[in-house]
């Protein structure tokens, strides 16, 4: 299959464009350990691509106290931001080449992430890819985060695009479910969590990296 007819590309950020999920995990683990709470990679899977309100709620449950949970959330976000500013986040393989390809093809690229606008902006600026995007669409812009379809339905409104003109790149089950619910073609590039076979069946392609996506637009 090819994507030559697409005019808009909506990218999830964490785990698709930028290798950030490991940084989120290490930041949470460090701060939780400071307050005496263990945190494993298996625990972290419940946090991936669900948005910050969901993350804060889970941390409050772990802490057993709303105020302490909020403090842990705030400190972990600050530690994560410090890691980004320090240059600890790498682009995922193929990110830059694909964004350059889309720019040459006059296909508009958007970030569509459950993260806040501030965090998205920090990430794309510090990894040098901000100028490749027409706009940054965040979890701040919608009522319900992924797996609800809100962010992608909002993206269609913002771009004045038909669903058939857009394609989404996602890695996590919640993001894939969001894309499917919005009835927009989705390309899966798995990161830390492998989607189940039922989700894979509904994707237009499953790739090992964004490097493989470049040929689909030429």
Per the CB < 8 A criterion, the answer to whether 147 and 181 are in contact is: yes
Strand positions, DSSP E, the chain: 8-11, 18-19, 90-91, 108-112, 135-137, 166-170, 185-188, 205-206
Per the CB < 8 A criterion, the answer to whether 82 and 199 are in contact is: no
pLDDT digits (tens, 9 = 90+) for 68-94: 999 999 999 999 999 999 999 999 999
pLDDT tens for the chain, 218 residues long, are 789 999 999 999 999 999 988 899 999 999 999 999 999 999 998 888 777 888 999 999 999 999 999 999 999 999 999 999 999 999 999 999 999 999 999 999 999 999 899 999 999 999 999 999 999 999 999 999 899 999 999 999 999 999 999 999 999 899 999 999 999 999 999 987 788 899 999 999 999 999 999 999 98
Angle between helices 117-126 and 66-85 (to 10 degrees): 20
Residue 179 confidence (pLDDT):
97
The model's pTM is 0.85
Round the average pLDDT of the chain to a whole number and report it.
94
Domains for the chain: give ranges and CATH numbers. 8-18+90-217 (3.40.50.1000), 21-85 (1.10.150)
Residue 181 confidence (pLDDT):
97
- Residue 91 bridge partners (DSSP): 18
Residue 38 confidence (pLDDT):
95
CA distance 188 to 205: 6
Residue 193 confidence (pLDDT):
76
Residue 53 confidence (pLDDT):
87
Q: What share of the chain is helix, strand, coil (3-state, %, to 5)?
A: 50, 15, 35
pLDDT digits (tens, 9 = 90+) for 32-70: 999 999 999 999 988 887 778 889 999 999 999 999 999
List Cα–Cα distances, 192 to 14, 164, 188, in angstroms: 10, 29, 12
CA distance 158 to 204: 23
Q: Which residue has the tokens 């683990």?
A: 29
List Cα–Cα distances, 107 to 30, 180, 217, in angstroms: 40, 21, 9
Among residues 12, 13, 10, the alpha carbon closest in space to that of 155 is found at: 10
Residue 110 confidence (pLDDT):
98
Number of residues written out for the chain: 218
């Amino acid at each position: 299959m090819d994507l030559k007819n697409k005019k808009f590309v909506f990218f999830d950020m964490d785990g698709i464009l930028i290798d950030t999920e490991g940084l989120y995990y290490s930041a949470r683990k460090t701060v939780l350990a400071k307050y005496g709470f263990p945190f494993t990679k298996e625990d972290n899977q419940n946090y991936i691509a669900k948005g910050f309100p969901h993350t804060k709620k889970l941390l409050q449950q772990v802490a057993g106290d709303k105020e302490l949970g909020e403090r842990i959330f705030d400190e972990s976000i600050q530690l994560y931001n410090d890691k980004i500013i320090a240059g600890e986040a790498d682009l995922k393989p193929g990110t830059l080449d694909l964004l350059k390809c889309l720019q040459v093809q006059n296909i508009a690229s958007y970030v569509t992430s459950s993260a806040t606008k501030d965090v998205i902006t920090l990430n794309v600026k510090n990894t040098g890819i901000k100028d490749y995007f027409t706009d940054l669409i965040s979890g701040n812009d919608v009522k319900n985060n992924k797996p609800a379809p809100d962010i992608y339905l909002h993206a269609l409104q913002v771009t004045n695009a038909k669903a058939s003109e857009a394609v989404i790149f996602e890695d996590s089950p919640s993001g894939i479910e969001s894309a499917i619910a919005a009835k927009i073609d989705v390309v899966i590039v798995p990161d830390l969590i492998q989607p189940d076979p039922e989700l894979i069946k509904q994707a237009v392609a499953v790739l090992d990296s964004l490097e493989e996506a470049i040929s689909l637009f030429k």
